[in-house]
Structure formats: structure tokens, C-alpha cells
Structure 1
Amino acid sequence: MREHTPAGACARRGRHLFIVFRGTLSSGEKLSNWMAGRMDAVFDNLDRGGVHRGFHRCYESVREAVHGFAAAHASPERHIRIAGHSLGGALAFLAGMDIATGGLPFRTLEIHAFGSPLVGSARWARHYDRQRTATWRIVNRRDFITRIPPTLLGYRHAGTPVRFTSPRGVRPHGLSEAYLPALLEARAERAPLSSLRARCAAGAASTP
């Protein structure tokens, strides 16, 4: 079964629910990326937390579909997996917080954010990291997008970073050029995603 939203797709397979967000496509989404002012999210039970206004606006446009899908199929035996790239990575964080704080039953909740920008304030990031989630933030060291909005504006990353360095000449923020090859390499070696950090750090050390 598949249910599509303008920002991605939701699917159910056995005991697993999958929610996937794509990156920026429309001009409106590009504008939202630069709306760096913060606001309280409508769903995270945190006053004066502060998430990126543009990312929050994008998530609000799909929240009913995403939350409705999760609510319709969630159960104590379900495993929920959320993933996204770029803007989709930011939306994956917001969806993860929404589900984690929304009272829905689940067995495990995992978030995989590829090349995600910073999503919220230090207070929001701490609140996120206290939730019952396993969050992996996959970061290409050459990817500038993972460093904006800057921490000078009060933003902080949440989740556990898994870092790698793409080869020179590769578009550093590209999903197919940089992020998927690193993931496929780890899969080919039958390595868990969490081991990508150590392997890529070793590769980066040998790069001139």
C-alpha cells in the first residue's frame, strides 16, 4: 500500500511503516529554506523551543497526511522508519518529533536524515534528543548545507552524526552523487550504518 504526499511518500510493509521526504524542488520550498527565523512548533509540547520557520511551514503543509498515515497504522508492534534528504531531512526531524511526542504507539522509531540543515534551537535539539527515537544524521563533510542556518543564529543539530567525506569533483550535497554511494558502499560491505562514521573518517585522513 502506498500513499503519496507532495513532499514524499508513505508506505506500509509487514510491521514496518515508512515515511520518506524528498529534497527541495519548488520555488516556494526554496523560499522556505531561507526563512531562517524561528517559531514554536505546533506539535512538540515545548514552549519557546524554536524551529526553523520555513521548514515548519513546509511540514505543516503535509502534516495531516503524514500524521494521519502514522495514526491509522501505528501499533505497539510497529517499527516506524522516517528518512529524507536536504529539506526532506529537516522534515524527517520534524515528523520524528511529531510522532514521538504525539502519543502514537510504536515499537521503534528511527530517523535517517541525509544532508540535513539545522532545524531548531539548542533547546529544541535537546528536547528532540530526549525523545524515544534513534536518529542518524548522515553528513558529508564537504556539504555546506549541513552547516546552515549557522549556529551563530542559535541553531543546533540534533541526532547522532554519521560523517563521511565524498571524493573531490562530486557534487557534495547531491543525493545520488555523494550520499547514496556512501550508503551503498556500507551496505556492500554488510556494515551497519553506524560504522560508516569510522570507515569514512579513516578515508578522510588519507585524503591529501
Structure 2
Amino acid sequence: MWREVQGSKNWENLVDPLDSLLRSEIIRYGEFVAACYDAFDLDPNSKRYLNCKYGKRSMLSEVGLGESGYQVTKYIYATPDIINHVFPNNISIGSSCGKWIGYIAVSNDEETKRLGRRDVVVTFRGTVTIPEWIANLMSSLTPASLDPHNPRPQVKVEAGFLSLYTSNEDKKFGLGSCREQLLSEIGRVVNKYKGEELSITLAGHSMGSALALLLAYDIAELGLNTHDDHTVPVTVFSFGGPRVGNSGFKERCEELGVKVLRITNVNDPITKLPGVFLNENFRVLGGKYEVPWSCSCYAHVGVEILLDFFKMHNPSCVHDLGTYLSLLKCPKRLHVQKEEDIDFINKAKEFVISGLNFNAALQWKNAAMNMVNMVQSQRT
């Protein structure tokens, strides 16, 4: 059954209605993602500011997951160079040095026996720092070109996400790019347990789900999940995730067998971006120019579980991971009637702008306003 829960049959007959075992697994992986937020140090006066508050051995225990049956093997840092591209005159709006963005954990022997396989989990938090917000506001497609032997120019992804994944600006600590850290550790772990039944599970929230999908594609494209004619399943659990690439990226992920389960809120504007207009639903002249245009259109990947929890006192809840998990834990509340729709867009504007939270950022305030205005135009 674990293979079906991991998407071997594209979650056929498990999504509608939502299977109880699948629901519990979604919650379990969602809690691993929530740990990224709980352990992230946001105190500017702390020596661990914008890094993990705890050591690898104690982190899961410190955030309440000490009985999860997993052990953290590596912390992951992202070193975006977004600021240098957007602000060539070196306007100081924040450091571009490496920030703790997630971790890799492996199930222990007891949990492996319970699950029926050795599970390698990679989790990513969502947007917190200024460069990450800027990356979220970018919307240009660029070739992924992650396999040097076969760059596949038709496979394109969002430039900001790709930069977060591949940039290596923090050379002082010798960390390497986010991608290099991830591929190195995953290769090591898979090789260590290659004689066992394995699964690779990637989970993230918001921007983190975009990184999870990029990593899943990268692993499969490079064949890191294939050993002795045996393919290790690669599964992504995406919470409130945006679109990541074009239709060529979507099709290639499907060809490679990457399984993606997207848990989304119908009222979450982040899941509509990028590609509010040019997306998988776009058609030109009845489809006559559908193929040429498809390379410029964003497309979601995978199977969607669409939630509806609009009736919230605080509009920020529409994208909050805690709300996603709370409602999944209460199945009777998964589908809530929409109410007070008129005031949503104005409140969402205030939420997006306040999330940026940095001084002298008028141009990014305007960008955020434009982003939500696009969402409004789509809703109408």
C-alpha cells in the first residue's frame, strides 16, 4: 500500500474522497515541513539568526518530532544571488549569504520496518528572507539545463526558483549551492542503503515546494534514483505551492516518473502564480497555436487535492501551513462555504505587502500590489 500512497498509481481512488491513510501521510510529511519553521531562528540578536536554532541530533526532538522515527543527516542552505541581478548598484536591502532552508532525514530501522521501506525525507520551508521574496516575484522562464549531457532547452523553469536552487554566492563557508548540498547527500544516503527498499520523499511549503519539485526533477533526470535496474520512487508533497515550470517541464517530470501531490487552498493566491494568464489552461484561436505557445506557459505538475477554507478572521490563513495541517486533521472542516468574498482582495494586498517587511522597498510594494491585482483579474 505504501507505493500507492507515494503515488505509484497517481493516487487513483485515494483523493476523492480523501483516503484516511493518505491523509495521515500528508499530515506526517506536512509536520516535517512545519519543523523547518519551528526551528528557524528569526531573532536578529541571536548568533544563529536565519539559521537553525538546534543541532542535527536534537532538532526533531526540540520541535516535538522526537518520536517520528527519523534522524536528520544534513542541513541545507540556500545562497541566492538575486539581489546582485536586481540591484546592480549594490543597494543594501539584505545579505545574500546562505540561509538555512531545510534538512534531510532518514527513517531509522524501527520506522523503516513499520513503513515497509527506508524513507529519505527532504523538507523545505517557505519564503522568509528578502532575496526569497524577490525570487517569488520573478516570473521569467529560463531553461533548467540541469543535465550537462542533455540540457533540454524546451524544459523551462521560473528563473527566481532556479537561482535559489543553483546559486553559490556564499563561498566563504564552502557550502556549495543548495543543489550541490542536496545531490551530494542524497547520493550518499541512497548508496548507503542501496540493498534495501527505498523511497525518496520531498516536501515543502510555498517557495519550498518549488525547490522540492526542482530537486525531484533533478534527481530523476540525473538518474540518482536508479541502481541496478531498480528505480527508487520519487514523490513530492507540495503545500500551497506555486507553478514552477512550463508545459515542457511538466511533461518531462511525468516521463521521468516523478509523482507530485499538490495540497492547495482554492483561495490561496500563491498557488495561482506565476503564470496567472499564461498557464496550462491557455489557448490561442481555439488551440491552433497551442503547441508553440506552450513553451511560454506555466503548468502545474501532478495531482491536486483542492481544499476550501475561506472563512478565516485573518486573510493570511489562506496560505498558512498550520491552517492547511489543522484542517487536514479535521476532515469534516475540509470544505467550508465561501463567505465575505468582497473584502478578500484588499486584505490580501495588505498581507502580501506586510510579508515583505523591509524598508525603502516601494518598487517591491508595487510589484506585490501588481501580483495581487493579477489574482483579482483572474478571480473576476
- Aligned counterparts of 2:131 and 2:268: Cα–Cα separation in 1: 23
Name the CA shift for 1:133/1:49 in 2 (closer, same or farther; >3 Å).
closer
Equivalent residue, structure 1, for 2:304: 161
Summarize deviations over 1:129-161 as a string: whole Å, max 9, x none.
222222101111110100011242411111111
- Partner-residue secondary structure (3-state), 1:172: helix
Q: 1:73 aligns with which of 189, 199, 208?
A: 189
Aligned equivalent of 2:243, options 118, 124, 127: 118
Alignment of 1:45-60 (within 5 A): 45=150, 46-60=152-166
Greater RCO, CA 8 A, separation 6+ = 1
Match of 2:223 in 1: 103
Identity value in percent: 30
Backbone CA RMSD of aligned residues: 2.0
Structure 2 vs 1, CA of residues 185 and 99 (structure 1 numbering), >3 Å: closer, same or farther?
A: farther
Q: Which residue of 2 aligns with 1:7?
A: 101
Partner of 2:36: none
> Is residue 307 of structure 2 the alignment partner of residue 182 of structure 1?
no
CA distance in 2 between partners of 1:12 and 1:150 (Å): 35
Q: Does 1:143 pair with 2:237?
A: no
Query: Could you say which structure has the higher strand fraction?
Result: 1
Deviation for aligned residue 1:183:
2.9
Paired amino acid for 1:139? T
**Higher radius of gyration, 1 or 2:** 2
Q: Which runs of 5+ in 2 are unaligned?
A: 1-70, 77-99, 109-117, 167-176, 279-296, 340-380
Give TM-score scaled by structure 2 length: 0.48
Cα shift at 1:40:
1.0
- Aligned-partner residue type, residue 51 of structure 1: V
Instruction: State how far apart, in whole Å, the 2-side matches of 1:107 and 1:51 are.
Output: 24
* TM-score when normalising by structure 1: 0.85
Take 1:168 and 1:64, find their aligned partners in 2: how far apart are those partners? 42
Cα deviations across residues 147-206 of structure 1 (Å, max 9, x unaligned)?
011242411111111111114115100111x211133235xx9xxxxxxxxx94xx35x5
**Which sits farther off after the overlay, 151-160 or 9-18?**
151-160
Aligned length: 193
Q: Hey, what's the Cα distance between the residues in 1 that align with 2:328 and 2:181? A: 28
The answer to whether the Cα contact below 8 Å between 2:199 and 2:233 also exists between their aligned partners in 1 is yes
- For 1:182 and 1:108, locate their aligned partners in 2 and report how far apart those are by CA, in whole Å: 28
How far, CA to CA, are the matches of 1:136 and 1:121 in structure 2?
18
| SS in structure 1 at match of 2:329 | helix
Q: Unmatched 5+ residue regions in structure 1?
A: 190-198
- The answer to whether the 8 A contact 2:126-2:206 is kept is yes
* Alpha-carbon displacement from aligned partner over 1:37-83 (angstroms, at most 9, x marks no partner): 11111325422221000000111141111111110011362211100
